[in-house]
Amino acid sequence: MKSYRRLAALLVMAMAPLATLAEESPAESDQIRRVVHVCSACHGEAGNSGNPAFPRLAGQPADYVIAQLDAFRDQKRSEKDPRAYMWGVSALLDDTTIQQLGSYYAQQTPAAGRAGDPALIAKGRTIFQDGVPARGVRACRSCHGDNGEGVTVFPRLAGQHASYVYSQLKTFGTRLRPHGPVMAAEVRNLSNDELRAVAEYVQSR
């Protein structure tokens, strides 16, 4: 709670320069640099967040970032954390800035994944590569790429914080993420242990 309040204060302070962007007309690169500076307070330098509370954005496909920012701004991605953290900030972004943010994060070099529990990783790797055909769970790599690198609207999962990945997988079982239904079978038919294993695997990539 304490750290949440500190972040909220940080966000309010950071908003001041962002809110004046419309009045000024700085060079495009300068403008996006200032916006990204606000984002980096949570998502880390160049989107390589070291804090599991905040997803990594570095190397995330542009189309995916744009779709999520639109979903936050339209208040369609509506779990507790997006409401608290992303609704306010996205409300201040215009379409052009959202496009530029997509390109910016797609161009950043993702930090290496983090080593984890080998047994869990091995279990997760099997699910990621082969799915569980008997239960209608498709291979994650068929959409997210062989190494979880992501493409177009399919997010990069490689190197993403396991706790964030797990929390999103649990959210896909609800209606709080607009594009959630695409993975309904995957999340419904995997146990919590299996979801944790696949999250640990992608974090290690």
The residues in 13-42 that bind ligand HEC, with binding defined as CB under 6 A, are 35, 38-39, 41-42
Residue 177 and residue 167 in contact, taking contact as beta carbons nearer than 8 Å: no
Residue 72 and residue 87 in contact, taking contact as beta carbons nearer than 8 Å: yes
SS3 15: helix
SS3 132: strand
d(CA 198, CA 200): 5
Bridge partners, 131 (sequence order): none
Residue 158 touches ligand HEC, criterion: CB under 6 A: no
Q: Least distance (Å) from ligand HEC to the CB of residue 188?
A: 11
The residues in 164-183 that bind ligand HEC, with binding defined as CB under 6 A, are 165, 168-169, 177, 179, 182-183
The residues in 121-150 that bind ligand HEC, with binding defined as CB under 6 A, are 127, 137-138, 140, 142-144
Q: 47-67: buried (b, 16+ CB within 10 Å) or exposed (e) per residue?
A: bbbeebebbbbbbbbbbbbbb
Q: Mask 48-77, x = binds ligand HEC (CB under 6 A)?
A: -----xxx-x-------x-xxx--------
Residues that bind ligand HEC (CB under 6 A): 7, 11, 35, 38-39, 41-43, 53-55, 57, 65, 67-69, 79, 81-82, 85-86, 89, 101, 127, 137-138, 140, 142-144, 153-155, 157, 165, 168-169, 177, 179, 182-183, 186, 198
